[in-house]
Amino acid sequence: MKKIIPALVAIVLIGLIAVFGLGWQFVEKYTYSNEQADLTEYFKLQAEDDVAIILQNERIEEKAKLIDGVCYVDLDLVHTYFNTRFYEDKEESLVLYTTPDTIIRATVGEYSYKVGDQQIQRGYAPALYQGDTLYLAMDFVKEYTNFSYELFQDPNRVQIYTQWEPRTVVKLKKKTALRYQGGVKSPILAELTKEDKLYVLDEMETWTKVKTQDGLIGYVENKKLGEQSTEDPIPVTDYVEPEYTSIHKDYKINLAWHAVAGTGGNDTFDSLVANTKGLTTISPTWFYLKDNEGNIESFASETYVNKAHERGLEVWGLVENMTGTDVSTFEVLSATTRRTNLIRNLMDQALTYHLDGINVDFESLSTDTGEHFVQFLRELSIACRKEGIVLSVDNYVPIGNTNHYNRKEQGVVADYVIIMGYDEHYRGSEEAGSVASIGFVENGIKKTLEEVPAEKVINAIPFYTRIWDTTGGTVESQAVGMDLAEEYIKNHNITTVWDEETCQNYGTYESGGTKHEVWLEDAESIRVKLNVMEANGIAGVACWKLGYEKPEIWDVIAEYLEK
């Protein structure tokens, strides 16, 4: 018996320990944790002036800054979430915002800004730098953008709304904790009280993801929630965006570029337009960037303009960036003073010579020049709009790295956006091919129409053909007009056949180990291009260049214009 009692005691103790262990595990699993979350860590705040951003119902990675009690956001964030028209001039420490008729100008660090000539005082700096990063005061951005924000502290966070869709709301039936994740062991973000209003983000079986009115996003047990309802927030409409008005002709545009390499080139006007039909607009290549200060070289002629007007033609003087030697388009466009000088010079020429329009042909722009180019167009559009002068802009077919030309914004500020629907294969191409196959042309039109209204789109067609010579791995070509291309075909007894893929007449022959090829631009190929343009309902056609065409081309274009 004495041996049995210790054994029984041991068994009982083991049982009690097991029961206690199971009970402790039960308590550990099902009792509520009182651990408080570190909100600074939750919001990933690293610097004292960091401000977490809750955009709609999501915490985003970017941070705002709290500087002298004012909430600031960096320019990239402004462009991404609020408004793309704020522009930074790093060289002159300026921030600009452009409307259809006014430029708003803030000098970085100053407590005022100018709307046109009017000085506006503020109790804060609308723009300032931290290191190399430009920050804009949210109140300044809000002057020209519709959104709402509310700033909270301890820790710093800002709730921002840019959309005002219906929200599902719920009130608490009893006090509870808002937890970082669903589960009683998850750290507590905040203690909530009865009747607190929460925004419902996601419902699960026993927990619901919610957001508090001060921007905390976490989880609450379903049993603590009352009935849901829908709330319709009041949209912010403080800022009324001015309408960008445009000049729109009540006829299809038929524009031809006249290549003028000097004042003597103006003398060819009469002979080049003599056989044209249906021409509405001529664009002489009169202006080019002369230096990095925004000065231009001009070949403009009053006699030329008078002759064109007598024929019923509008004159859209072309300005380009390819002729001037040692000129950097980036340097010209990236400083406000130089842009202003360029615009002043162009407008002086336009008004002096009674031009009807300005055609901007800035090509081979580097990616970092894009934002400055678009700002130049915004500012030039103000001057053109004021004087009733048409602003048109030439663009590559939208393939490859050309997004920095920002055709969407061009479609807002310019009157016409012209697609240079050629150079599919160009001098320097690694393989021979068409200058403008029908697929290339159609794709260019359709992609442009995704960003620009059809009534502003003009598609340019080539009056030239490339003659290709391929020897081994070497590819060379020369651009020739339609007459020379036809002469080349005859001189080499080339039989051409219609190529359905390109919708062009194709010819080839070989001699001395060299393959010679040509995809002709002629009346047939031009007609197919014009049919595609008609089908897409765009504003008209442009032609590069006068003097390269055969007379019958004008009959084909006239048919298009009459449709």
Residue 546: alpha-carbon gap to chain centroid: 33
Does one domain contain both 287 and 374? yes
Residue 502 burial (10 A CB sphere; 0-12, 13-18, 19+): buried
- What CATH number did the domain enclosing 73 receive? 3.30.457.10
154 and 171 part of one domain? no
Query: Do 203 and 342 have their domain in common?
Result: no
Give the residue numbers spanning the domain of 347: 253-463+526-562
Which of 139, 160, 181 is a domain's end point? 160
Domain shared by 270 and 293, yes or no: yes
Q: How many residues are there in the chain?
A: 563
Provide the pLDDT for residue 22: 46
CB 494 within 8 A of CB 519: no
Residue 26 lies in a domain: no
Summarised one tens digit per residue, pLDDT across range 231-271 is 999 999 999 999 999 999 999 999 999 999 999 999 999 99
Residue that finishes a domain, picked among 160, 181, 210: 160
Nearest to 378 by CA among 82, 77, 104: 104
Taken in order 196, 200, 204, 205, the sign of the CA dihedral is: positive
Q: Evaluate whether residue 558 is within a structural domain.
A: yes
pLDDT of residue 454: 98
Tell me: do 63 and 120 sit in the same domain: yes
Judgement on whether residues 340 and 452 belong to the same structural domain of the protein: yes
Sign, CA torsion 543/288/387/332: positive
Domain annotation covers residue 25: no
Residue 16 is predicted with a pLDDT of 57
CA dihedral 426, 432, 436, 441 (to 10 degrees): -100
Which CATH number goes with the domain that contains 263? Answer: 3.20.20.80
**Is the domain of 419 the same as that of 444?**
yes
The string of pLDDT tens digits covering residues 366-395 is: 999 999 999 999 999 999 999 999 999 999
Query: Is residue 486 in a domain?
Result: no
Interatomic CA distance for residues 345 and 413, integer angstroms = 20
Q: Which of 160, 192, 207 finishes a domain?
A: 160
Query: CA-based angle 132:84:92, to the nearest 5?
Result: 40
Are 533 and 445 a contacting pair, CB within 8 Å?
yes
Whether 489 is in a domain gets the answer no
Please write down the HEC assignment for all residues of 74-115. EHHHHHHHCCCCEEEECCCCEEEEECCCCEEEEECCCCEEEE
Q: Comparing C-alpha atoms, which of 515, 401, 405, 491 is closest to residue 452?
A: 405
**In a 3-state reduction of DSSP, which class is residue 428?**
coil
The predicted structure's pLDDT at residue 27? 47
Residue at 417 is within a domain: yes
Cα–Cα distance for residue pair 248/224, rounded to 1 Å:
62
Asked whether residue 457 is domain-assigned, the answer is yes
Specify which residues 475 forms β-bridges with.
Answer: 470
CATH of the domain at 188: 2.30.30.40
Same domain (yes/no): 431, 374: yes
Do 81 and 207 belong to one domain? no
Q: What does the alpha-carbon distance between residue 394 and residue 114 come to, in Å, rounded to a whole number?
A: 32
Alpha helices in 176-285 (DSSP H): 269-273
Q: Are residues 126 and 203 in the same domain?
A: no
Q: Could you give the CA distance from residue 264 to residue 471 in angstroms, rounded to a whole number?
A: 39
Does 5 reside within a domain?
no
Considering its fold, how many domains does the chain have in total? 3
- Tens of each residue's pLDDT in the chain, 563 residues: 555 666 565 565 665 555 455 444 544 456 899 999 999 999 999 999 999 999 999 999 999 999 999 999 999 999 999 999 999 999 999 999 999 999 999 999 999 999 999 999 999 999 999 999 999 999 999 999 999 999 999 999 999 999 999 999 999 999 999 999 999 999 999 999 998 999 999 999 999 999 999 999 999 999 999 999 999 999 999 999 999 999 999 999 999 999 999 999 999 999 999 999 999 999 999 999 999 999 999 999 999 999 999 999 999 999 999 999 899 999 999 999 999 999 999 999 999 999 999 999 999 999 999 999 999 999 999 999 999 999 999 999 998 899 999 999 999 999 999 999 999 999 999 999 999 999 999 999 999 999 999 999 999 999 999 999 999 989 999 999 999 999 999 999 999 999 999 999 999 999 999 999 999 999 999 999 999 999 999 999 999 999 999 999 999 999 999 99
Residues 258 and 356 in one domain: yes
* pLDDT of the residue at 386: 98
Measure the CA–CA gap between 181 and 514, rounded to whole angstroms. Answer: 72
> Are 115 and 225 in a shared domain?
no
